[in-house]
Amino acid sequence: MFYSRLLIPTLKEDPAEAEAVSHKLLLRAGMIRKLASGIYNYLPLGLRVLRKVERVVREEMNRAGAQEVLLPAVQPAELWQESGRWQIYGKELLRFQDRHNRDCCFGPTHEEVITDLVRREVQSYRQLPLNLYQIQMKFRDEMRPRFGLIRGREFLMKDGYSFHASEADAEACYQDMYTAYNRIFQRCGLRFKVVEADSGPIGGSFSHEFMVLAETGEDLLASCLACDYAANLEKAEVVVAAANPGAEPLSAAPEEVPTPGVRTVEEVAAFFQITPRELLKTLIYETEKGPVAVLLRGDHEVNEVKVKNLLGVTDMTLAGAGRVRELTNAEVGFAGPVGLHLPIYADQAAAALAEAVTGANKTGHHLVRVNPRRDISITQVADLRTVTAQDPCPRCGTALEILRGIEVGHIFKLGTKYSQALKALFLDEAGQEQYIFMGCYGIGVSRIVAAAIEQGHDAQGMIFPMALAPFQVGLIPISLNDAATKEKALELHAALEAAGIEVLLDDRDERPGVKFKDCDLLGLPLRVVVGPRTLEKGAAEVRHRRRGEIVMVQLEELLSYLQENICQEISG
Ligand code: ATP
Ligand code: MG
């Protein structure tokens, strides 16, 4: 391919609109352009990278026995009403009406559509299992689209859904997808971790996320330094201190102390000259089952996913100031668990304290010497907080580290949630009607492009893994005015293309320095330079983008040298 014929509008400066490295570089390399918030044009080179990701995903899904389909982007509201998600999906669902005033949405995901398809086409266990996937543009009206392709509103997703006659078969398919996903991210040349994720009411370990490790990731995960335990922070368990029923009180009954204007954990700790771990914070939540109080040690963070799972609720928000006043008779900052007439759920570390400071349910007052076991009527003690790097691994007891990642894939056992809602039934061997068991498997195809760049870049630009690079080789003639150089460059270009190597010949009338810079910016893994000085030696200069190393390769060996390097990097 000739550089001069492609639309590659590179930029010299970092665009001001971009925060994330991948976003900056994708814009600078002329791979994407923004059309509207979270909506991008893919230019030729950006599309090439996207297609490479797609290809790996498609090959591995096919290898695992899944079949490709293509489902509509526009979906009728009726299906979403049937599943109940029309009401609960919220503003991320882009809704509109057609000319007949029929409600529609632009698909953010396709459980409804695929379940509808399968319920119409499948009647018997003999037609199962089925594993169907598509690679298609989704639209989610994200509250905060950002970081370019990492969190777009319109983005390319691989979404797969499997259908089974038995739960065991669904679980076996889950394992197959787990394996396929590992292969996909390995082939994409990414450093990633598979983490346990919250599986909500399904339970068991049937929800895993695939996280590309990057400092800039929006997701936090806990990973054991010794064993292979890793979980996203929402899910990571805090080990239960050996059946601790709560410490015995150290001293006399609680006492009320005036604390005017002292509200936050920091203020209270400073006022009493104690550390945050010696006080209890009381969070009041509204849920669909009514208000509840959650108790935590002052230095711990609540994990709302754990609280929701414990309570079996889906709607949970912190109570506003007015509600807090109604429920506790005090302003925010002075709520406390003693004498509070609400169900009280205490984190295990909070319940274990011997003596703590809490709000007094009276504005401008706190209680000291509160012993949870003696003074608080706790409904239930449970693990309700977010794990920290100070906690031990729940599997092996060694230390955990907290890492940042970018979620690029998610596999999930759905059970019969959608088949029940949409009445997707089959007749089993005994002629009995049963709900179809389902699983779903997502990959953020366009997000992977950005994640690969977050992991692979330096001050000069992108460093693509061979499998994803827009071209494998950048071929740079030092000067096209030199007839011998030009001829050799064209000859090499033709020979490499004929050998199936993806080569970008920089035939622009630019100084070599400009070409080198752009070649680095585009992240092409191998750069081949020919010019009078290399030709004198019958050679070309090859530079490895990632390793930075430069070697002179004899022209007659160049093809096999490049082929070897490309193969090595694609398979390794
Ligand atoms: P997130 O927590 O990042 O919002 P999600 O849980 O909403 O992700 P899924 O519904 O599981 O994501 O979608 C499958 C995959 O699609 C995700 O693993 C992610 O890689 C990708 N994805 C989700 N939302 C976006 C987005 N706004 N832009 C780009 N990719 C996305
Ligand atoms: Mg999301």
Report all structural domains of the chain as residue ranges with CATH numbers, in order of start. 50-236+401-453 (3.30.930.10), 255-382 (3.90.960.10), 471-571 (3.40.50.800)
The Cβ-side half-sphere exposure at 461, using a 13 Å CA radius, reads: 24
Q: Which residues line the pocket of ligand 1, CB cutoff 6 A?
A: 109, 140, 142, 151-152, 155, 157, 407-410, 442, 444, 446-447
What is the pLDDT at residue 250?
A: 78
What is the pLDDT at residue 248?
A: 79
Report the chain's C-alpha Rg in angstroms.
29
Residue 440: name the closest of 146, 117, 109 by CA.
109
What is the pLDDT at residue 538?
A: 97
What is the pLDDT at residue 55?
A: 97
What is the pLDDT at residue 312?
A: 93
Report strand pairing: 473-477 vs 503-505: parallel
Instruction: Specify the ligand 1 atom closest to the Cα of 157.
Output: 16
Atom 27 in ligand 1: residue holding the nearest Cα: 151
Distance 524 CA to ligand 1 centre (A): 28
Q: Which ligand places an atom closest to the C-alpha of 141?
A: 1
Choice from 40, 414, 440, 447 to test ligand 1 binding pocket (greatest atom count within 8 A of CB): 447
Q: Which ligand places an atom closest to the C-alpha of 140?
A: 1
CB burial class (10 A; 0-12, 13-18, 19+) of residue 467?
buried
Report strand pairing: 473-477 vs 526-530: parallel
What is the pLDDT at residue 204?
A: 67
Type and span of the H or E element at 472: none
Distance 267 CA to ligand 1 centre (A): 38
What is the pLDDT at residue 498?
A: 98
Choice from 57, 410, 445, 448 to test ligand 1 binding pocket (greatest atom count within 8 A of CB): 410
Question: Largest alpha-carbon pair distance within the chain?
Answer: 97
Atom 3 in ligand 1: residue holding the nearest Cα: 407
- Which DSSP category does 569 fall into? H
Q: Which ligand places an atom closest to the C-alpha of 110?
A: 1
What is the pLDDT at residue 520?
A: 97
What is the pTM for the complete model shown? 0.92
Atom 11 in ligand 1: residue holding the nearest Cα: 410
Query: Residue ranges of the chain with pLDDT lower than 50?
Result: none
Neighbouring C-beta atoms of residue 4, cutoff 10 Å: 12
What is the pLDDT at residue 245?
A: 65
What is the pLDDT at residue 246?
A: 74
